[in-house]
Copies of this chain bind each other. A is one copy, B any other.
């Protein structure tokens, strides 16, 4: 605890600069993003993500997890600003109020910066639009122990605050990259990673395909499916059986079914 009084003006330039990071343009211009929530900040710290500044509202720090995260934020040496409940309400945006927000520099999302283990399992999501879906896929991908999540032709920025939130911070743990679909297809070929694409009209059931070895699970946007880039001979299309009245599954649900079938076959 500092003895300085908590900052209580939402008009403070540092608070205003932090709030501006909710806009994609500002994130791209500064190379920074805003992380809301104790668990999310904790996972960023565990991944050695660079923290530029943080904001803490002592009156809202209630859990042991949140107290521990504040202590670790203090250890980083980055500026830590104590703020009032009112200012924290401006800074935070999730449905929880953990009392801590951090400004961080996300890691590189360059394909060529990914380091892969032997026989990697990776996920490629094309044209993902909703940050919530991206975050949900990252959370599941972390659970399945994937080597990387790659966003192809993404319509949202990967380190969107809502993606960070929906991932519960696992976005800082799973290596992520972005690129054009054609570039990713080349990258997979160069690394001898076999792409398996989810398609509603594929003739083969996913469970009948060998999902061991170096493998990429490729998923398209829910409304439009995968683009023609993923229709080549090097890509194996697979179908998740639809036994009811609906014609498709949520993209993060489809990712979960395919990833955990791969995990099952690999162990």
B143 touches A246 (CB 8 A): yes
Instruction: Determine the chain B residues whose CB is within 8 A of the CB of A144 once the complex forms.
Output: 243-244
Q: A88 to nearest B CB, angstroms?
A: 22
Chain A residues in the interface with B (C-beta under 8 A): 43, 46, 136, 139-145, 168, 170, 173-174, 207, 240-246, 249-250, 252-253, 256-257, 260-261, 263-264, 267
Instruction: Determine the chain B residues whose CB is within 8 A of the CB of A136 once the complex forms.
Output: 250, 253
**CA distance in complex: A241, B267 (Å):** 10
A244 touches B207 (CB 8 A): no
CB-contact partner of A46 in B43, B245, B260, under 8 A: B245
Main secondary structure of the interface of A (DSSP, over half): helix
B139 touches A246 (CB 8 A): yes
Instruction: Determine the chain B residues whose CB is within 8 A of the CB of A170 once the complex forms.
Output: 244-246
A173 touches B245 (CB 8 A): yes
Q: A173 to nearest B CB, angstroms?
A: 4
Q: A133 to nearest B CB, angstroms?
A: 11
A253 touches B207 (CB 8 A): no
Q: A45 to nearest B CB, angstroms?
A: 12
Instruction: Determine the chain B residues whose CB is within 8 A of the CB of A140 once the complex forms.
Output: 249-250, 253
Q: A102 to nearest B CB, angstroms?
A: 17
Instruction: Determine the chain B residues whose CB is within 8 A of the CB of A249 once the complex forms.
Output: 139-140, 143, 256
Instruction: Determine the chain B residues whose CB is within 8 A of the CB of A168 once the complex forms.
Output: 246
Question: Which B residue sits closest to A145, measured CB to CB?
Answer: B243
**CA distance in complex: A248, B154 (Å):** 26
Instruction: Determine the chain B residues whose CB is within 8 A of the CB of A252 once the complex forms.
Output: 250, 253
Question: Which B residue sits closest to A47, measured CB to CB?
Answer: B245
**CA distance in complex: A26, B90 (Å):** 34
**CA distance in complex: A250, B141 (Å):** 12
Instruction: Determine the chain B residues whose CB is within 8 A of the CB of A46 once the complex forms.
Output: 245
Q: Can you show 21 pairs from A to B with CB atoms below 8 A apart?
A: A140-B249, A140-B250, A140-B253, A143-B242, A143-B243, A143-B249, A144-B244, A168-B246, A170-B244, A170-B245, A170-B246, A173-B244, A173-B245, A173-B246, A174-B244, A240-B260, A243-B263, A252-B253, A253-B256, A257-B257, A261-B261
Question: Which B residue sits closest to A46, measured CB to CB?
Answer: B245
**CA distance in complex: A172, B235 (Å):** 36
Instruction: Determine the chain B residues whose CB is within 8 A of the CB of A43 once the complex forms.
Output: 245
A143 touches B207 (CB 8 A): no
Question: Which B residue sits closest to A167, measured CB to CB?
Answer: B246
